[in-house]
Amino acid sequence: MICTDNYPDKLRKAVYNAVMISKGAYAYNKSLGSYMGSLDYGSDNIYEQCEMAVKEAVIGIKDIKYKQCILSNVTSSSLELKVQFEYMGKTYETEVIGFNG
């Protein structure tokens, strides 16, 4: 069940930004961000690539637990992604994050 009431907006934005912003782009901490920009969209293991990139990107966000990636509209050059994560026993989901290769 996805919770929509009392959604921790700051946390949702932190997860969204961690996945959306490229690894090394944060001026104050080059280890933050994700490798989503280096995905091979035509690969048979696109889900596994996304999952690894997202897990690494969100591992440093305090008190959240990665649940799953939800991929949609996957083509050879783009995809849409939602990230489900758990916070204080409730499951939350980011808005759609679009990537173009």
Neighbouring C-alpha atoms within 13 Å toward the C-beta of 36: 30
Average pLDDT, the chain: 88
69 bridge partner residues: 83
For the chain, what percent of residues have pLDDT higher than 90? 52
Angle at 11 between CA 29 and CA 15, to 5 degrees: 55
Q: Per DSSP, what are the bridge partners of residue 91?
A: 2, 86
* Strongest mean pLDDT among 12-16, 42-46, 80-84, 96-100: 80-84
pLDDT in tens, 42-76: 889 999 999 999 999 999 888 899 999 999 999 88
Instruction: Give the pTM.
Output: 0.84
